[in-house]
Amino acid sequence: MSDISLTDDATRREAQPADAGLLRAVLFGGVAAGTLDAVDGVVFNGLANGLNPIQVLQYIASGFYGAASFNMGLGSASVGAVAHYFIALVLALIYVVATRIAPVMQRHWVALGLVFGAAVFLTMNFVVLPLTNVVEAPVTLAFLVNGLIGHALLVGLPIARAAR
Protein backbone atom coordinates (compact mmCIF):
# COMPACT_ATOMS: atom_id res chain seq x y z
CA MET A 1 0.00 0.00 0.00
CA SER A 2 2.89 2.39 0.69
CA ASP A 3 4.23 1.62 -2.81
CA ILE A 4 0.96 2.87 -4.27
CA SER A 5 1.19 6.05 -2.20
CA LEU A 6 4.77 6.64 -3.31
CA THR A 7 3.78 6.08 -6.92
CA ASP A 8 0.80 8.39 -6.57
CA ASP A 9 2.97 11.07 -4.91
CA ALA A 10 5.66 10.69 -7.57
CA THR A 11 3.08 10.93 -10.32
CA ARG A 12 1.63 14.05 -8.72
CA ARG A 13 5.10 15.60 -8.41
CA GLU A 14 5.83 14.84 -12.06
CA ALA A 15 2.54 16.43 -13.13
CA GLN A 16 2.95 19.54 -11.00
CA PRO A 17 6.46 20.93 -11.56
CA ALA A 18 5.67 22.83 -14.77
CA ASP A 19 2.53 24.37 -13.31
CA ALA A 20 4.11 24.97 -9.92
CA GLY A 21 7.25 26.40 -11.54
CA LEU A 22 5.16 28.73 -13.70
CA LEU A 23 3.14 29.93 -10.71
CA ARG A 24 6.28 30.38 -8.59
CA ALA A 25 7.97 32.37 -11.37
CA VAL A 26 4.93 34.60 -11.85
CA LEU A 27 4.53 35.24 -8.12
CA PHE A 28 8.22 35.83 -7.45
CA GLY A 29 8.72 37.98 -10.56
CA GLY A 30 5.52 39.95 -10.05
CA VAL A 31 6.02 40.64 -6.36
CA ALA A 32 9.72 41.49 -6.81
CA ALA A 33 9.04 43.81 -9.76
CA GLY A 34 6.02 45.39 -8.07
CA THR A 35 7.96 46.07 -4.88
CA LEU A 36 11.09 47.39 -6.58
CA ASP A 37 9.06 49.58 -8.92
CA ALA A 38 7.01 50.92 -6.01
CA VAL A 39 10.16 51.83 -4.08
CA ASP A 40 11.56 53.54 -7.17
CA GLY A 41 8.28 55.41 -7.66
CA VAL A 42 8.19 56.59 -4.06
CA VAL A 43 11.84 57.68 -4.07
CA PHE A 44 11.74 59.35 -7.49
CA ASN A 45 8.38 61.08 -6.97
CA GLY A 46 9.35 62.09 -3.45
CA LEU A 47 12.52 63.73 -4.70
CA ALA A 48 11.27 65.10 -8.03
CA ASN A 49 7.68 65.99 -7.18
CA GLY A 50 7.48 66.12 -3.39
CA LEU A 51 4.93 63.29 -3.20
CA ASN A 52 4.69 61.04 -0.18
CA PRO A 53 4.09 57.26 -0.55
CA ILE A 54 0.31 57.61 -0.07
CA GLN A 55 0.15 60.21 -2.84
CA VAL A 56 2.17 57.96 -5.15
CA LEU A 57 -0.38 55.17 -4.63
CA GLN A 58 -3.24 57.65 -5.06
CA TYR A 59 -1.67 58.72 -8.35
CA ILE A 60 -1.86 55.10 -9.52
CA ALA A 61 -5.52 54.99 -8.44
CA SER A 62 -6.17 58.21 -10.37
CA GLY A 63 -6.29 55.95 -13.41
CA PHE A 64 -9.70 54.91 -12.07
CA TYR A 65 -10.83 57.99 -10.15
CA GLY A 66 -9.07 60.91 -11.81
CA ALA A 67 -8.03 63.84 -9.60
CA ALA A 68 -10.64 62.83 -6.99
CA SER A 69 -8.27 60.02 -6.00
CA PHE A 70 -6.14 62.51 -4.05
CA ASN A 71 -9.12 63.33 -1.81
CA MET A 72 -10.05 59.74 -1.06
CA GLY A 73 -7.42 58.97 1.57
CA LEU A 74 -6.18 55.46 2.22
CA GLY A 75 -9.05 53.97 0.23
CA SER A 76 -7.69 55.15 -3.10
CA ALA A 77 -4.12 54.46 -1.97
CA SER A 78 -5.17 50.86 -1.32
CA VAL A 79 -6.77 50.63 -4.76
CA GLY A 80 -3.52 52.00 -6.22
CA ALA A 81 -1.45 49.39 -4.39
CA VAL A 82 -3.70 46.53 -5.51
CA ALA A 83 -3.71 47.81 -9.10
CA HIS A 84 0.07 48.22 -9.07
CA TYR A 85 0.71 44.64 -7.91
CA PHE A 86 -1.98 43.25 -10.20
CA ILE A 87 -0.27 44.88 -13.19
CA ALA A 88 3.13 43.55 -12.05
CA LEU A 89 1.73 40.02 -11.75
CA VAL A 90 0.11 40.23 -15.19
CA LEU A 91 3.40 41.44 -16.68
CA ALA A 92 5.21 38.55 -15.02
CA LEU A 93 2.60 36.11 -16.33
CA ILE A 94 3.02 37.45 -19.87
CA TYR A 95 6.80 37.16 -19.73
CA VAL A 96 6.84 33.73 -18.09
CA VAL A 97 4.36 32.29 -20.60
CA ALA A 98 6.35 33.86 -23.44
CA THR A 99 9.50 32.10 -22.21
CA ARG A 100 7.68 28.79 -22.43
CA ILE A 101 6.84 29.56 -26.08
CA ALA A 102 10.23 31.07 -26.96
CA PRO A 103 12.93 29.42 -24.81
CA VAL A 104 15.53 31.85 -26.21
CA MET A 105 14.06 34.31 -23.71
CA GLN A 106 15.42 32.13 -20.91
CA ARG A 107 18.87 31.84 -22.43
CA HIS A 108 19.19 35.59 -23.03
CA TRP A 109 17.23 36.63 -19.97
CA VAL A 110 19.36 39.65 -19.05
CA ALA A 111 19.18 41.44 -22.40
CA LEU A 112 15.57 40.52 -23.07
CA GLY A 113 14.51 41.34 -19.52
CA LEU A 114 16.02 44.80 -19.85
CA VAL A 115 14.25 45.34 -23.18
CA PHE A 116 10.98 44.04 -21.72
CA GLY A 117 11.18 46.45 -18.78
CA ALA A 118 11.87 49.44 -21.03
CA ALA A 119 9.02 48.37 -23.33
CA VAL A 120 6.69 48.13 -20.32
CA PHE A 121 7.55 51.71 -19.32
CA LEU A 122 6.94 53.06 -22.81
CA THR A 123 3.73 51.10 -23.33
CA MET A 124 2.27 51.99 -19.94
CA ASN A 125 3.10 55.69 -20.11
CA PHE A 126 2.44 56.45 -23.76
CA VAL A 127 -0.29 53.95 -24.69
CA VAL A 128 -2.17 52.64 -21.64
CA LEU A 129 -2.22 55.58 -19.19
CA PRO A 130 -3.51 58.11 -21.74
CA LEU A 131 -6.58 55.86 -22.11
CA THR A 132 -7.37 56.13 -18.38
CA ASN A 133 -8.40 58.94 -16.02
CA VAL A 134 -4.85 59.27 -14.66
CA VAL A 135 -3.85 62.78 -13.67
CA GLU A 136 -1.47 64.06 -16.34
CA ALA A 137 2.09 64.64 -15.22
CA PRO A 138 4.74 66.49 -17.19
CA VAL A 139 7.13 64.35 -19.22
CA THR A 140 10.60 65.50 -18.23
CA LEU A 141 14.02 64.17 -19.12
CA ALA A 142 14.44 62.97 -15.52
CA PHE A 143 11.11 61.12 -15.74
CA LEU A 144 12.12 59.41 -19.00
CA VAL A 145 15.61 58.44 -17.80
CA ASN A 146 14.40 57.18 -14.44
CA GLY A 147 11.46 55.40 -16.04
CA LEU A 148 13.41 53.62 -18.75
CA ILE A 149 16.36 52.62 -16.57
CA GLY A 150 14.19 51.90 -13.53
CA HIS A 151 11.77 49.69 -15.42
CA ALA A 152 14.56 47.90 -17.27
CA LEU A 153 16.46 47.09 -14.06
CA LEU A 154 13.67 46.89 -11.48
CA VAL A 155 10.76 45.44 -13.50
CA GLY A 156 12.10 43.62 -16.55
CA LEU A 157 15.18 42.07 -14.99
CA PRO A 158 13.50 40.54 -11.90
CA ILE A 159 10.67 39.17 -14.02
CA ALA A 160 13.11 37.70 -16.55
CA ARG A 161 15.22 36.21 -13.75
CA ALA A 162 12.17 34.62 -12.17
CA ALA A 163 11.10 33.21 -15.54
CA ARG A 164 14.54 31.70 -16.07
Domain contains 59: no
Say if 73 falls within a structural domain. no
In a domain, 116, yes or no: yes
With respect to residue 136, please indicate whether it lies within any of the assigned structural domains: yes
Is residue 76, in this structure, part of any structural domain at all? Answer: no
Which tens digit of pLDDT belongs to each residue from 101-144?
999 999 999 999 999 999 999 999 999 999 999 999 889 999 99
Cα dihedral angle (36, 37, 39, 41), rounded to 10 degrees? 170
The answer to whether position 8 is within a domain reads yes
Virtual CA dihedral for 116, 45, 53, 57, nearest 10 degrees?
-50
In which band, very low, low, confident or very high, does the pLDDT at 49 lie, cut at 50, 70 and 90? Answer: confident
Write phi, then psi, for 79 (nearest 5 degrees).
-60, -40
What range defines the domain where residue 101 resides? Answer: 2-49+82-163
Interatomic CA distance for residues 7 and 113, integer angstroms = 39
pLDDT score of 16 more than 90 = no
pLDDT band at 56 (very low <50, low <70, confident <90, very high): very high
pTM of the model: 0.86
Q: How many domains does the chain have?
A: 1
65 domain-assigned: no
What values do phi and psi take at 137, rounded to 5?
Answer: -120, 150
The answer to whether residue 70 is domain-embedded is no
pLDDT reported for residue 18? 66
User: How far, in Å, CA of 59 to CA of 36, rounded?
Assistant: 17
